[in-house]
């Protein structure tokens, strides 16, 4: 396995690298027209970051779609469902985003990667570098710096999703408040057979990212759900052997009460202060939009780090090797 950073060390290092990405000079590119559609493609956690981004874009009335890069292999050559393309590949080696960019045929798309000179950079001269850091085997720095990069790209193109520096501040506040504070939650979570992760808006993207994070780092079966979809039926499987992580405190609060009554372990996180509620952790400072999503994923990382230690997991060492994705360095 390639050289990787320790999981806990990488989690703690995120604000530094996030601020570095926030300070990038992206120049003065042509603004996206109000009715243009921005297409994001990636794999794994990059797809999850794209899900957060498109929800943030839609919240300000801008068109954006997030596409699993592997699905593009089944699109007709040259079919492009929007005017602008962002290709995300933290490692720069995943073959699916490269193939998707070629199939779309968009000249000079925006490419977000941590490794300048990696294979993905061959599809464009328009590279947004994430910093060249050493990440953990289960991506941590890569995910949060990608969120910062997407905020910076949107702002440079006239779609303001908030100050990119605010994401680093939210991550730093979450680390300061919750590092070492989630041992009891992790011990309780260790007894669960599966974990549902639930949220709405940008928090639905955070739920996707956290679901992958817990699977890869802790070996815990997970599923992610948009809040209303979860209430519509999937929560019927919950009971004493299940656990739920809820992002947000709107409709999620009533759901949490019902879930606790069923005997399910219910953990909540809201990225702002507010009234106390059983099992609900709150960030002492308010973080909204992409900054809130950064806070949510850092909270999930800290919880996963505690659980992986309880389970003696070697985070970043994977059981199954694949020859056609997750290519070696």
Q: What is the pLDDT of residues 233-245, one digit of tens each?
A: 999 999 999 999 9
Burial letters for 196-212: b for 16+ Cβ neighbours within 10 Å, e otherwise? bbbbbbbbbbbbbbbbb
Q: Which pLDDT tens digit goes with each residue over 187-197?
A: 999 999 999 99
Residue intervals of the chain classified under CATH 3.40.50.10490 are 7-161, 172-310
CA distance 277 to 288: 20
**Per-residue tokens: 150:** 């997407």
1: pLDDT strictly greater than 50 = no
Kindly give, in sequence order, each residue whose CB lies less than 8 Å from that of residue 52, ignoring residues fewer than 6 positions away: 147, 150, 202, 205, 206, 209, 290, 293
Pick one of 3.40.50.10860, 3.40.50.10490, 3.40.630.30, 3.30.930.10 as the CATH number of 7-161: 3.40.50.10490
- Half-sphere CA count of 289, side-chain side, radius 13 A: 21
Q: Is the pLDDT of residue 326 over 60?
A: no
Q: Using the structure block, give the residue that is written with the tokens 């850091």.
A: 133
What residue has token string 């469902």? 81
CATH topology of domain 172-310: Rossmann fold (3.40.50)
Residue with tokens 């099992």: 279
Q: What is the mean pLDDT of residues 189-218?
A: 97
Rounded to 5 degrees, φ, ψ at 281 are -95, 140
pLDDT at 322: 63
Residues 6+ apart with CB under 8 A from 255: 198, 227, 230, 231, 235, 246
For residues 103 and 73, the answer to whether their CB atoms sit within 8 Å is: yes
110-163 tens-digit pLDDT: 999 999 899 999 999 999 999 999 999 899 999 999 999 999 999 999 999 999
Task: Please say if the pLDDT value at position 172 is more than 90.
Answer: yes
State the average pLDDT for the chain: 95
Contact 227, 252 (CB under 8 A): yes
pLDDT, position 296: 98
| Helix, strand, coil percentages in the chain from 3-state DSSP, rounded to 5 | 45, 15, 40
Per-residue model confidence as pLDDT tens digits over 297-309? 999 999 999 999 9
> Which residues have a Cβ under 8 Å from the Cβ of 282 and sit 6 or more positions away?
249, 269, 270, 272, 273, 274, 276
Mean pLDDT of 283-288: 98
Distances (CA, A) of 8 to 154, 178, 185, 284, 304: 30, 13, 17, 22, 10
Instruction: Using a pLDDT cut of 90, give the percent of the chain over it.
Output: 92
pLDDT in tens, 18-42: 999 999 999 999 999 999 999 999 9
Contact yes or no for 47/74 (Cβ under 8 A): no
| Token digits of residue 198 | 């639930």
CA–CA dist 97, 45 (Å, integer): 13
């Amino acid at each position: 396995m390639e050289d990787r950073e320790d999981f806990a060390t990488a989690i703690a290092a995120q604000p530094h690298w996030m601020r570095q990405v926030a300070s990038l000079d992206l120049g003065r590119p042509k603004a996206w027209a109000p009715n243009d559609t921005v297409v994001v493609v990636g794999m794994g956690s990059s797809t999850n970051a794209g899900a957060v981004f498109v929800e943030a874009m839609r919240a300000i009335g801008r068109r954006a779609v997030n596409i699993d890069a592997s699905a593009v292999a089944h699109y007709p050559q040259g079919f492009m469902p929007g005017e602008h393309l962002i290709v995300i590949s933290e490692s720069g080696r995943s073959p699916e985003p490269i193939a998707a960019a070629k199939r779309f045929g968009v000249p000079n798309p925006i490419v977000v990667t941590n490794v300048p000179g990696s294979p993905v950079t061959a599809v464009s001269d328009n590279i947004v570098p994430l910093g060249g850091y050493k990440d953990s085997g289960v991506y941590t720095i890569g995910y949060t710096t990608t969120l910062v990069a997407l905020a910076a790209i949107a702002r440079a193109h006239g779609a303001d999703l908030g100050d990119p520096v605010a994401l680093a501040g939210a991550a730093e506040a979450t680390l300061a408040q919750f590092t070492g504070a989630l041992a009891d939650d992790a011990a309780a979570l260790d007894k669960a057979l599966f974990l549902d992760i639930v949220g709405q808006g940008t928090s639905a993207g955070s739920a996707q990212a956290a679901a992958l994070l817990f699977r890869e780092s802790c070996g815990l079966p997970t599923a992610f759900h948009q809040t209303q979809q979860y209430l519509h039926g999937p929560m019927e499987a919950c009971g004493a052997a299940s656990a739920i992580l809820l992002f947000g405190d709107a409709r999620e609060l009533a759901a949490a009460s019902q879930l606790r009554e069923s005997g399910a372990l219910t953990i909540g996180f809201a990225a702002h202060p507010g009234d106390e509620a059983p099992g609900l952790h709150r960030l002492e400072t308010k973080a909204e939009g992409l900054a809130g999503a950064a806070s949510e994923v850092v909270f999930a990382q800290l919880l996963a780090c505690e659980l992986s230690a309880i389970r003696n997991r070697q985070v970043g060492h994977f059981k199954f090797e694949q020859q056609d994705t997750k290519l070696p360095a």
